Amino acid sequence: MDWEFISTNIPLYREAAVLTVKIGFAGILVAILLGLLCEIIVYCRIPVLRRAVAVYIELSRNTPLLIQLFFIYYGLPKIGIRTDAQACGVAGLAFLGGSYMAEAFRSGVEAVGAAQEESAYSLGLSRMQTIRYVILPQAFAISAPAFVANVIFLLKETSVFSAVSLMDLMFTAKDLIGLYYNTTESLALLVVFYLLILLPVSLLGSVLERRLRYAGFGT
Amino acid sequence: MGVRPVPGIVLEISHLHKAYGQNTVIEDLSLTVREGEVIVIVGPSGCGKSTLLRCINALESNQGGEVRLHGEPVLKGSKNLPEIRQKIGMVFQNYELFPHMTVLDNIMLAPVKAQGRKKSEVREEALALLKRVGLETKANSFPRQLSGGQKQRTAIVRALCMHPDILLFDEVTAALDPEMVREVLEVILDLANQGKTMLVVTHEMQFARAIADWVVFLDDGRICEEGTPEEFFDHPKTERAKKFLNTFTFERKARQPKTI
C-alpha cells in the first residue's frame, strides 16, 4: 500500500465527496418533493395528472439511472434544453428517486386506512386538512423505513454521475487509476469515502426509524 | 334561495335508499329527530343500522331520498359538506382517535382548524370536558396509552367539543370489555340528561331502555317497529321484534332427574 499516494490524494477525494454529497442531497430533496407531489395527485385522484404519474413511475423505476442521465445530459440539448453536468446529476437523481419516494409514501398512506380519513371527515375537516393533519403525519411515520432505504439507495446511485463527466468520487478514482495505475489505493479510498458518507446516514436513519416507531401505534 | 327550517326538528331523513350494487341495505327509510330527543336504533347484525348512521353524515352516498340537518340537505360531494359535518358529531365503534396526537390535540384539532376557534378557548373547554368524563390526567397521553373505555370517552369529548347539533353513536361499546362498557354508557347517559340530541345504535338492551325516548327497530333496512321503550321492550307488536328480543333472554329447562 502506497501511503504517501493516499495522503496526497485525500484532499482530491474530499473535494469529490463534497460534490457527491451536494448533488446527492439536492437530488434526494427534489425526489422527496416530487414523490410527495405524485402521491398527492394519486391520492386525490386528479384525473389526467394521475395517469401521467403512473406512466412516470413505471418509466422511472424500470430504466437505469445511467440511461436516464444520458437522456438528460445528451438528449435534452438536442431539443434545446441546456443542462450543465451538476444540474443534470440533480435532475437524474430526482427523476429516479421521485418514483421510489412516491411508492414509499403511497404504502404509508394506504396503511393509515380509510377509517382515519372518515374519522377526520366526520369532524368536519376538509380534504386538504385531513391530508395535512391526519393522513400525512401518520403516513410519513409508517413509511420511514422505506424512506431511509431509498435515501441510502439513491446516495449509492450517485456513483454513476461520472458518466456525465461530473467530478464525483467515482470519477476521481477512475482518473487516478488512469494516471498512476495505483488501483488498490484509489479503490480503497473510494470505498472509505463512500462509507464515510453513507454510514452516518444509515445510523441517523435507524435512529429516525426508532423514534417514529410509535407509528406502529397499537390499539 | 333560503331554506325554511322546521321548528324543533333537528334531523330529517326521508325515503332514504341505499344499495351496494344489487344489494339493498336501506329501503325507503324515513325518520325525524327532534331537539333534545334520544332515539335508539336496535336490530340484528347487518340490518343497516351502521350504514344508516354513515348515510346521515354522508360518509356513504345514497341512491335515493335525502337527509336534512336543520332543513339543509346533507349531500356527498357538496361544497358545504365539511361545515354540515361539523354539526353532526359521530363516535365510532373503534374510536378512531388520531394515534399520532395526544388526547388534547385529538380534541382540539377540528375546533381550531375546521371551526377556526381560538386555541386557548378550545383548550379550556377540552380540559373541562375531559374532567367531566374523568380523564383530566390523561390530556397529554397518547391514545395507545389509554384503555378502550378511556379511548372511547376521549372520542366522545372530541365530538362534543365541536358543539354538534346532534350526536351519532355507532355501537360505541361493541369493542369494549364489560367493565369499560359501563363507564362509557354512563357518559352517554349523562349527555342525555343534559338534553343533547342523539341517535344511538347499540346492542346493549338494558342501556337502550334506560336512555331512549324512542326506540326504532330496524330489520332488513326498514323500520320494522318503533315506539317508546316501554312499548317496544315490554309489548313488542311484531313477531320479528319479539324474536329479536328473545335472543337476549336465556332460560334453562328444568333439570331432568338423572337416569342410570
State the pLDDT confidence band at A115, using cuts at 50, 70 and 90. very high
Contact B57 A122 (CB under 8 A): yes
Contact B96 A215 (CB under 8 A): no
Which residues, listed in sequence order, are joined to residue A34 by a DSSP beta bridge?
none
Q: Please, is B138 exposed, middle or buried when counting C-beta atoms within 10 Å of its C-beta (0-12, 13-18, 19+)?
A: buried
Which residues, listed in sequence order, are joined to residue B73 by a DSSP beta bridge?
B68
DSSP A146: H
- What's the pLDDT tens digit per position in B139-189? 999 999 999 999 999 999 999 999 999 999 999 988 888 888 999 999 999
Contact B114 A125 (CB under 8 A): yes
Interface test with B, best of A118, A122, A127, A140 (most B CBs within 10 A): A122
Q: Residue B1: is its pLDDT beyond 70?
A: no
The mean pLDDT value for A176-192 works out to 89
Question: How big is the CA angle at A169 (ends A163 and A173), to the nearest 5 degrees?
Answer: 85
List chain B residues with CB under 8 Å of A123.
85-86, 109-110, 114, 158-159, 162
Contact A124 B98 (CB under 8 A): no
List chain A residues with CB under 8 Å of B87.
124
Using CA coordinates, name the residue in chain B closest to A213: B100
> What ipTM was predicted for this assembly?
0.89
List chain A residues with CB under 8 Å of B113.
125, 129, 133
List chain B residues with CB under 8 Å of A141.
100
DSSP A134: I
Q: Within the 157-196 window of chain B, which residues sit less than 8 Å (CB to CB) from chain A?
A: 158-159, 162
Interface test with B, best of A116, A123, A127, A136 (most B CBs within 10 A): A123
Cβ proximity of B25 and B18 under 8 Å: yes
State the pLDDT confidence band at B194, using cuts at 50, 70 and 90. very high
Contact A138 B90 (CB under 8 A): no
Q: Which grid coordinates belong to B103?
A: 388526547
**In chain A, which residues touch B (CB < 8 A)?**
115-116, 118-126, 129, 133-134, 137-138, 141, 214-215, 217-219
pLDDT in the model for residue A219: 36
Q: Comparing C-alpha atoms, which of A107, A109, A201 is closest to residue A151?
A: A201
- What's the pLDDT tens digit per position in B215-240? 999 999 999 999 999 999 999 999 99
The mean pLDDT value for A30-47 works out to 92
Lowest-pLDDT range, A53-67, A89-103, A151-165, B229-243? A151-165
Strand B38-42 and strand B198-201: the pairing is parallel
Task: Please report how many Cα atoms fall inside a 13 Å half-sphere around the Cα of residue A202, on the Cβ side.
Answer: 8
Contact A214 B94 (CB under 8 A): no
Using CA coordinates, name the residue in chain B closest to A139: B100
Q: Residue A83: is its pLDDT beyond 60?
A: yes
The interaxial angle of helices B119-132 and B103-113, nearest 10 deg, is: 140
Distance to chain B for A74, nearest Cα, Å: 47
CA distance A69 to A92: 5
The mean pLDDT value for A75-96 works out to 86
Question: How big is the CA angle at A89 (ends A186 and A204), to the nearest 5 degrees?
Answer: 70
pLDDT in the model for residue B175: 86
Interface test with A, best of B72, B113, B172, B176 (most A CBs within 10 A): B113
Distance to chain B for A121, nearest Cα, Å: 7
Distances (CA, A) of A103 to A37, A44, A49, A147, A167: 12, 15, 16, 10, 31
- What's the pLDDT tens digit per position in B98-152? 999 999 999 999 999 999 999 999 999 999 999 999 999 999 999 999 999 999 9
